[in-house]
Chain A
């Protein structure tokens, strides 16, 4: 960070400003509310991945699979074709628990693995989950998805489903809870253990920290948060969507949310979600529409702006990594473990 006072002020107060803006923005119309709500969901999923990848340094390439577990659990708990129909809030609770259990089950055998091997196991797990959800169509209805799932509800308040503002504020509140939770966990004893295991497993072990236990808890909490986000997303869309929505590409998007903002940093994740999802569902969409409206798109494949999305997305990622490789807001406390040591290989 630069020492210039203006930048310092921005750096210090932008989260407050952002909070103020998001609190006020929906008053300008439902349009803004509907566009921003998915950002909250992805921010929560990003926070979940951040616990695993950012705090504990375990690269997880299957975050979307935990989202899927949350979404499908929530769906099975609330759709009319199953006898449970426990409603929005209990559904969220069950989704979090199932997500946490699934995370623990995956983490148990994976504890022996390090770095990229763990990454590929989580990737494989993600592929397996989408395939299983697709193939067990007796339960999951395959690619049709389960619907209608319970809509978001605020206790003691009734409002129409087409009123977007209550849902917006509800999801904002849930996001703030998740932020607070992550922030406090990071500062707690457990959070310091995560960082210790991430930065130097051997040293942490010699200090009496059990790395396996610490990692398991991180996986359980992180997966639970991802599942929470998945359930919220299902509720927002009224359906569990379909298995291939939660594929590897989705996991990559979630990973990018964490990395673009800055690994291991709660504020960074929020900024990352704002940028990644906002770029995709607000800026690009409106640019395309604006160009189309002005008749600048023709029959030529190059002249249609939506055809450039991959290119813009990709170039943005490359440039971002080149100009700010530690993410927009680098975690200040410690060097991430993913840093290649200067003496790579010198240790036995």
Chain B
């Protein structure tokens, strides 16, 4: 493998992982931008989405299911489910305590996260073939390979580009462009930006703040739903504790880029994906240090740019 091939390979893996993190990070950063809440349960919403995806695949024939049926089916169901879930969480767990200290909502979010983790474990115990017949609820579950393992660059190529990598890019990039358009060009997007900047003033201008907040959770949840389908297909296995790690990466990405800032979240996510790819895929013994490097990078960036890479927009409260 030549140096160029190595760099291309690391880029492919890093960007694919980074794009998935970005989808989850968008959900964090949007919610934070609106109500300044670190929604700890977000990663677990995505985890439950993965379990729904596996259930659907299992009901429709498992490994035999054609990707051309599976993909539309999953993308039409899972995001609706996660969006609804995220919306209900907001209504049940966050809205009643919106006026309380911010930490109160944070603890509530941690509580929601624990409940979801438990639900995920029970879900894994369903007596279905895809869940291993229900015998071992807590173990990781294999997600059927719907794409196969061909190398799109030809079997002789040293660089490996699988249909999965392409699928990740083909789904996430248009979605992000669409979201940017929605936030910047539509009436509802403008309302969201207004609430993020100043909820009181937005309310005075006749914006239904509750509705905007609800919508933010719905969009964030839907993005997490898309992320869960992609993650399940990309990594090929799901686990009831996967929400924590994915959520942590995404949350870090959001802060790295400047929390509340959408392009910042994507930038932060890609950066984390690439750093991890280089550490795990090239640096000797780098795998065990990749977490340290990611968080050290985060601390360094925050020390020199206290509002994140692109986070100049975030107001300082006195």
Tell me if chains A and B make direct contact, with any CB pair below 8 A: yes
If A301-B122, A316-B111 touch, whether A338 touches B299 (CB-CB below 8 Å) is no
The complex places the Cα of A248 from the Cα of B296 at a distance, in Å, of: 16
A336 CB to nearest B CB, Å: 5
Contact of A321 among B104, B201, B302 (CB under 8 A): B104
The complex places the Cα of A201 from the Cα of B116 at a distance, in Å, of: 38
If A302-B125, A307-B122, A310-B118 touch, whether A116 touches B108 (CB-CB below 8 Å) is no
Q: Indicate the size class of the contact surface on chain A.
A: 35 or more
Query: Does B118 contact A318, Cβ atoms closer than 8 Å?
Result: no
If A311-B115, A345-B198 touch, whether A317 touches B102 (CB-CB below 8 Å) is no
- A59 contacts chain B at the CB level, 8 A cutoff: yes
The complex places the Cα of A310 from the Cα of B124 at a distance, in Å, of: 15
- Per-residue B-contact encoding for A269-280, CB less than 8 Å = 1, 0 else: 000000000000
Closest residue on chain B to residue A201 by CB atoms: B318
Query: Does B295 contact A308, Cβ atoms closer than 8 Å?
Result: no
Query: Does A317 contact B107, Cβ atoms closer than 8 Å?
Result: yes
If A132-B292, A318-B112, A336-B101 touch, whether A124 touches B252 (CB-CB below 8 Å) is yes
Contact of B288 among A59, A131, A314, A325 (CB under 8 A): A131
How many Cβ-Cβ contacts under 8 Å join chain A to chain B? 170
User: Within 8 Å CB of A316, what residues of B?
Assistant: 111
Contact of B114 among A202, A310, A322, A342 (CB under 8 A): A310
The complex places the Cα of A202 from the Cα of B317 at a distance, in Å, of: 10
Query: Does B99 contact A256, Cβ atoms closer than 8 Å?
Result: no
Query: Does A263 contact B103, Cβ atoms closer than 8 Å?
Result: yes
Closest residue on chain A to residue B260 by CB atoms: A116
- A296 contacts chain B at the CB level, 8 A cutoff: no
Stretch of A34-42, A96-104, A107-115, A189-197 at the chain-chain interface:
A107-115
- B110 contacts chain A at the CB level, 8 A cutoff: yes
A290 CB to nearest B CB, Å: 21
25 contacts between A and B (CB under 8 A): A59-B103, A113-B303, A117-B255, A117-B308, A120-B298, A124-B252, A124-B298, A127-B291, A259-B103, A259-B104, A307-B122, A311-B118, A314-B113, A314-B118, A317-B107, A317-B110, A317-B114, A322-B93, A339-B101, A340-B99, A340-B102, A344-B199, A346-B198, A347-B318, A348-B315
